[in-house]
Amino acid sequence: MVTYVAMLDVPRHVVEYLARLLAAHRRSIGTPKNTRALGPFRQAVLVLRWFRERGCVHCLARDAGISQATGYRYLHEGIDVLANQAPDLHEVLDRCQREGMTHVILDGTLIESDRVAGVRENGNDLWFSQKHKAFGGNVQFLAAPDGTPLWVSDAEPGSTPDITAARIHALPALYKAAADGLPTLAGKGYTGTGIGILVPVRRPKGQSEQALHADTRTTNNLIRGIRALGERAAAELKQRWRTLQHITLSPNRIGDIARAAIVLNKNWK
């Protein structure tokens, strides 16, 4: 065996933030002192290594000197305490209005996972996305005008269209926000969502973009240009917290993992 020293490329204050959450969680559930294999700080390092490096859990557990089962238990505990800090959609929208934001941006992404069992009524795989040609969960993101990730929904199976996932998790709150002066910009995949959700107008089938009126084309370009910054929200999370590029845990945990990443991302600065 050869040992070596490695560095976790996460700001120390992020590790300390998670360690404080873990310590508070241990106190809340009555964990006696000195009964855990790892202290809160070392557990935080294990959790953040998984988020940042997309490492295998048994390797992280081996490096920490604990069993694989304990490694999984500590990882899930870390995900839970982080996800519990994520604000719900109504809180996010209220804050956006207080801060005077002109709009928010809605987008969906597929967080890939290992193949899982599940069949739709038509016989197709439930968790397989024909759009992305991959297995995973569909999550909806809300971003600020500058592209900062603000909120993420629970995961729906990968075969779920964006508009369906948005109707389940986001649209009721977004309609109310739009009525209060905070519209939402979205892509063509959300066509038909209703008043307050601004999407580009589709061109007539079989015709070019020039078939649209000049005013409509201008409006489309404005919507696309403004919401382009919002499309970086999912990319920023996936590149900074690389475990979101491919989840090896249960796909039912995708929503919690994405919410935990939102909380970590907020505390990165």
The secondary structure of 169-236 as a DSSP string is HTHHHHHHHHHTT--EE--GGGTT--TTEE-PPPPPTTS-GGGS-HHHHHHHHHHHHHHTGGGHHHHH
128 in Cβ contact with 134 (< 8 Å): yes
* Residues 22 and 105 grouped into a single domain: no
Beta bridge partners of 151: 142
Distance CA 110, CA 161 (A): 10
pTM: 0.89
* Residues 232 and 149 grouped into a single domain: yes
Range of the domain at 106: 89-248
Structural domain ending residue among the three candidates 38, 61, 83: 83
Return the higher-pLDDT residue of 199 and 258. Answer: 258
Domain membership of residue 6 (yes or no) is no
**Domains held by the chain: number:** 2
Domain membership of residue 170 (yes or no) is yes
Residue 43's pLDDT band (cuts 50, 70, 90): very high
* Residues 169 and 243 grouped into a single domain: yes
Residues in Cβ contact with 267 at an 8 Å cutoff, skipping those fewer than 6 apart: 13, 14, 17
Structural domain ending residue among the three candidates 53, 83, 113: 83
- Residue whose token pair is 């899930």: 76
Query: Coil, strand or helix: which one is 32?
Result: coil
Distance CA 222, CA 83 (A): 35
Q: What angle do CA 219, 225, 226 make, to 5 degrees?
A: 90
pLDDT digits (tens, 9 = 90+) for 21-39: 999 999 999 999 889 999 9
The pLDDT score that the predictor gives to residue 206 is 67
* Residues 78 and 129 grouped into a single domain: no
**Does residue 94 surpass a pLDDT of 70?**
yes
Domain membership of residue 131 (yes or no) is yes
Domain membership of residue 196 (yes or no) is yes
150 in Cβ contact with 104 (< 8 Å): yes
* Residues 107 and 29 grouped into a single domain: no
* Residues 45 and 70 grouped into a single domain: yes
* Residues 219 and 113 grouped into a single domain: yes
DSSP 43-91: HHHHHHHHHHH---HHHHHHHHTS-HHHHHHHHHHHHHHHHTTS--HHH
Domain membership of residue 133 (yes or no) is yes
Whose CA is closest to 269, among 92, 89, 17, 86? 17
Residue 219's pLDDT band (cuts 50, 70, 90): confident
Query: Coil, strand or helix: which one is 114?
Result: coil
